[in-house]
Amino acid sequence: MRSDQAKKGIERTPNRALLYATGITRQSLESPFIGIASSFTDIVPGHVGMRDLERAIENGVHRAGGTPFIFGTPAICDGIAMGHAGMKYSLPSRELIADIVETMANAHSLDGLVLLTNCDKITPGMLMAAGRLNIPAIVVTAGPMLSGRYQGGKLSLVRDTFEAVGRYTAGKMSAEELEALEMEACPGCGSCQGLYTANTMACLTEALGMSLPGSGTGIAGSGKKKRLAYESGQMAVQLVRQNLTSDRIMTRDAFENAIRVDMALGGSTNSVLHLTAIAHETGLKLPLDLFDEISQDTPHITNLRPGGDLFMEDLEAAGGVPAVMKVLQEKLNNSDTVTGETIYQNLESVQLFENDVIQPLSNPIHASGGIAVLRGSLAPNGSVVKQTAVSESMMEFEGNARVFDSEELAMAAITSRQIQKGDFVVIRYEGPQGGPGMREMLSPTAALVGMGLGESVALITDGRFSGGTRGPCIGHVSPEAMAGGPIALVRDGDKIYINIKQRKLELRLSAAEMEQRRKMWVKPDARVTSGYLARYARAVSSADDGAVVR
């Protein structure tokens, strides 16, 4: 066992003395050392229920004959960080989490890992660590939150708080109703209720083969979730004994499965960044075009929020990720999973039943998948859009550029009602390097939808979008403005054209005009010059490369 180097032999007498100081027994020293990387915190709703899951995992590890050790990692709530400078830390925290898990696992020679996670950047950070370490590992996601309730209807965070801000600003909602939504939208623990980034990544972790079947949609706080945590603790010990390492699970075939499930579900555009970064840690490269190729060959078969009206609890009741994969089975690779069996073997016992949540391939909601990759003079290295959350009338659009060099400037213009029908909002210098940190633009996009402009205004950014974003919102524009990409050259009044079906994103300027502006462009000073974000900005790669730190 890996842990033998820290606990076996005469020369490890002092090491054992310190281990005994933790309260473990002599017998425990003979068992596999299983690290439980817990992202518990009191400030993130998706993580406040993790103390119970920690205990369940510990019990599972003990039951299987392992010795568990809990250690902590950071966790940021994107919703709380959204709309202000705190959001600059969200994506960079992914790298910190991967580094912390790597550091703890290698410093203490852990034999295996259970990765307890839930929200947006924590899950990919944990998976990046698993890929980097290449030791037996299994992921437990804490589960989605139940929907809120108000006046007989279901509520979710994005539509009923972020978009409600726009409705209130437009005079479509009273202050009393806004306050009621604020109190009722999020009733308790769990990741936010729609197919936003956290739940997208939980589902894709299961599709990737790195968590037990049913984990992706098991509701937070449920007995099922506790059982899955217990069984994952047991399985971690078995994985060590079988030497089933992450490289045998997170293969190219497995990543293709995850992308396909993503497209069928209509998941967050952030999955492109995260899957690319996770693959990078395993030594694989996932080009943007692969996402688009799989999307065009994968029908969209669920209609969850933000694009639709269904909730994660509805997907769970319909059979969760196993049911989705059963529908897709003919298109899936038969890769290995943490169960010790293959995808096809796991799906043998899955039974499909008629429901309105998961559509058959013969009658999809959309003929192609959730994400489209757009290229053109404004994004020569690519950009992404959640096409299943864009109305048919906005699949092709040309508008007048309204250019803002930060999210705050754009939000001020939107809330003061300066944006009009036919405008194409450009938010730049918010990329990985320029932000720094590639903030999500949920506040501006939700405000536009709430104000009734979702069918007449488009938005592009070199930053990101929340998984809760809907409408013609194109993100990850590469190269970013800080790197001198074409988005840095746009001026107010320029014509910008998108055609999502044809995968086009064009700035309507002549090559001569573009070249003249390029010669005049001056790279702005860095916004942050000290601390972690400054170091991150100097080392981070482009969005089309997963925004990984080199």
CB 343 within 8 A of CB 335: yes
Last residue of a domain, one of 184, 203, 230: 184
Last residue of a domain, one of 162, 184, 206: 184
Pairing of strands 148-150, 153-155: antiparallel
Same domain? For 385 and 436 the reply is: yes
Same domain? For 169 and 192 the reply is: no
**Cβ-based neighbour number of residue 24 at 10 Å:** 17
The answer, yes or no, to whether residue 265 has pLDDT greater than 90, is yes
The answer to the question of residue 14 being in a domain is no
CATH (domain of 421): 3.50.30.80
Proportion of the chain above pLDDT 90, given as a percent? 98
The answer, yes or no, to whether residue 486 has pLDDT greater than 90, is yes
The answer, yes or no, to whether residue 310 has pLDDT greater than 90, is yes
Q: What span, in angstroms and rounded, lies between the C-alpha atoms of 371 and 270? A: 10
385 three-class SS: strand
351-380: pLDDT as tens digits: 999 899 999 999 999 999 999 999 999 999
Q: What is the mean pLDDT of residues 131-152?
A: 98
Same domain? For 193 and 342 the reply is: yes
Structural tokens at position 300: 């969209």
144-179: pLDDT as tens digits: 999 999 999 999 999 999 999 999 999 999 999 999
pLDDT value at residue 154: 97
pLDDT band at 111; cut points 50, 70, 90: very high
Cα 414 to chain centroid, rounded: 26
Same domain? For 229 and 176 the reply is: no
Same domain? For 114 and 244 the reply is: yes
The answer, yes or no, to whether residue 550 has pLDDT greater than 90, is no
Residue numbers of the domain that contains 166: 150-184
Q: 162 burial class (0-12, 13-18, 19+ CB within 10 angstroms)?
A: buried
**Cβ-based neighbour number of residue 28 at 10 Å:** 18
Count of domains observed in the chain: 3
The answer to the question of residue 284 being in a domain is yes
Same domain? For 197 and 313 the reply is: yes
Beta-carbon contacts of 392 under 8 Å, excluding residues fewer than 6 positions away, are none
Q: What span, in angstroms and rounded, lies between the C-alpha atoms of 299 and 144? A: 24
Same domain? For 172 and 223 the reply is: no
The answer to the question of residue 54 being in a domain is yes
Q: What span, in angstroms and rounded, lies between the C-alpha atoms of 143 and 219? A: 5
Same domain? For 67 and 205 the reply is: yes
The answer to the question of residue 290 being in a domain is yes
CB 451 within 8 A of CB 169: yes
Same domain? For 259 and 340 the reply is: yes
Sheet holding 67-72, edge to edge: 67-72, 33-38, 112-117, 137-141
CATH (domain of 136): 3.40.50.2300
Q: What span, in angstroms and rounded, lies between the C-alpha atoms of 235 and 335? A: 18
Q: What is the mean pLDDT of residues 271-275?
A: 98
Tokens 């032999």: give the residue. Answer: 9
Beta-carbon contacts of 66 under 8 Å, excluding residues fewer than 6 positions away, are 31, 32, 33, 34, 111, 112, 233, 236, 237, 240
The answer, yes or no, to whether residue 31 has pLDDT greater than 90, is yes
pLDDT value at residue 366: 96
Angle at the Cα of 435 (from 481 to 450), degrees rounded to 5? 95
The answer, yes or no, to whether residue 391 has pLDDT greater than 90, is yes
Q: Which residue intervals of 153-267 are DSSP H helices?
A: 157, 163-169, 175-184, 197-208, 223-242, 252-265
Could you give the residue numbers annotated as active site? 466
490-534: pLDDT as tens digits: 999 999 999 999 999 999 999 999 999 999 999 999 999 999 999
pLDDT mean across residues, the chain: 97
Q: What span, in angstroms and rounded, lies between the C-alpha atoms of 119 and 39? A: 9
The answer to the question of residue 3 being in a domain is no
Angle between helices 531-539 and 90-107 (to 10 degrees): 90
Same domain? For 414 and 477 the reply is: yes
Q: Which of 58-62, 218-222, 353-357, 425-429 has the lowest mean pLDDT?
A: 353-357
Structural tokens at position 411: 């939000």
Residues, the chain, total? Answer: 550
Same domain? For 515 and 400 the reply is: yes
Residue 155: half-sphere exposure toward Cβ, Cα within 13 Å? 22
Same domain? For 177 and 204 the reply is: no
The answer to the question of residue 364 being in a domain is no
| Integer-rounded Cα radius of gyration of the chain | 23
The answer to the question of residue 11 being in a domain is no
Proportion of the chain above pLDDT 70, given as a percent? 100
pLDDT value at residue 60: 98
Q: Which of 166-170, 393-397, 485-489 has the lowest mean pLDDT?
A: 166-170
Structural tokens at position 151: 């006046």
Structural tokens at position 345: 């073997």
pLDDT value at residue 189: 98
The answer, yes or no, to whether residue 468 has pLDDT greater than 90, is no
Beta-carbon contacts of 12 under 8 Å, excluding residues fewer than 6 positions away, are 6
pTM score above 0.95: yes
Question: Positive or negative, the Cα torsion across 322, 324, 327, 328?
Answer: negative
pLDDT value at residue 199: 98
Q: What is the mean pLDDT of residues 82-104?
A: 97
Angle at the Cα of 267 (from 262 to 273), degrees rounded to 5? 80
Cα 401 to chain centroid, rounded: 29
pLDDT band at 320; cut points 50, 70, 90: very high
The answer to the question of residue 23 being in a domain is no
Pairing of strands 67-72, 33-38: parallel
The answer, yes or no, to whether residue 467 has pLDDT greater than 90, is no
